[in-house]
Amino acid sequence: MSELSHVDREGRARMVDVSAKAETARIAVAAGELQTTAEVIRLVRADDMPKADVLTTARLAGINGAKKTSELIPLCHQLALSSVHVSFGFTDTTITIEATAKTKGPTGVEMEALTAVAVAGLTLHDMIKAVDPGAVMNGVRLLTKDGGKHGHWERSQAAGAHRAEHGAQQQHSKQHEPSQDVVVQQPFGTGLPAVVLVASTGAAAGTRVDTTGPVLAKWLEGLGFSVRGPLVYADSDISYGLADALAGEPALVISTGGTGASPTDATPEATLAVLDRELPGVADAVRQRGTAKFPLAALSRGVAGLAGGSVVVNLPGSPGGVKDGIAVLEPLLEHLLAQVAGGGSHE
């Protein structure tokens, strides 16, 4: 077992000395959810709870919790946080919470992101307990982290390791069963070129760490695609980025970022300039999935369509927007690419 960094040779708790570590841009994203009732969800969304401004209060509490993490958790370092963002979404009976914490320093911001989620969730509980005292806070967990010598980590990697171990145990338990012929089917994207394009002025300048591009690249690689990128371009240069991405006539180009309503968001306009035909249903499905959890997702102006033989899809520049895009695209891509290539059923 590896040595625990928070325990000294005598087994006593200690604060880790990080003075020799390099200062890098670091970012962590955490999530959780408050399980409650449909009535509470209705009241919160209508801003009609006995305690008003439920989400605003919980958001401020989460940000404040992140800032005070070192006071709450004894061995955490004090960090100069550059940003803390707390957002909420809804299902029929849950309020979902996602927090992103950023800093530039010698140690990570995982605990700050997790604390923001936990404190925001506890504040939600306090705000809705008059209607539902039985609400339950669930699943406070780290989703991704970036920076430092270990680079990018995401939760799916850990979950994959667990699934692999579980699968090995299942295989061992079946080793005495009668053998059967097994047909291994190749992923539908095997051999097809794909490009991931990121529109981010900060990431292009090196002042922030993009977490969306690596997630898309890993997902496409899992489907068998030969992935180029993430290619990172400033918002003002996204038309050049699209030209770069389309230069090799890939089967698929997925962009992330630059789809909002700010003056610098230019990805949809640059994409429309290169499209021969639009696929409006794809972009609408991504927006609808996001809006079901986070109303501001409706502000995304992302488009999708065909540039020659390449499928081009714009996704928002947030981790949640990318997750929504993956969920929409995965069941569509095989059939869509087959049709673009001249095959595929039309039934």
Burial class (CB in 10 A: 0-12, 13-18, 19+), 10: exposed
Cβ atoms 108, 125 nearer than 8 A: no
Looking up tokens 């640059």 gives 270
**Given 17, 47, 53, 126, the catalytic residue:** 126
The count of residues in the chain is 347
Give the three-state DSSP class for 222.
Answer: helix
Any catalytic annotation for residue 126? yes
Alpha-carbon span 291 to 317, nearest angstrom: 15
Cβ atoms 123, 53 nearer than 8 A: no
Q: Which two tokens stand for residue 254?
A: 């997925």
Alpha-carbon span 32 to 18, nearest angstrom: 29
Element (H, E) at 171: helix 155-173
Contacts of 253 (CB under 8 A, 6+ apart): 194, 195, 197, 242, 245, 246, 307, 310, 311, 312, 313
Of 329, 338, 277, 337, nearest to 307 (Cα)? 277
Cβ atoms 65, 119 nearer than 8 A: yes
Alpha-carbon span 184 to 203, nearest angstrom: 39
Alpha-carbon span 134 to 115, nearest angstrom: 22
Cβ atoms 228, 286 nearer than 8 A: no
Active site residues: 126
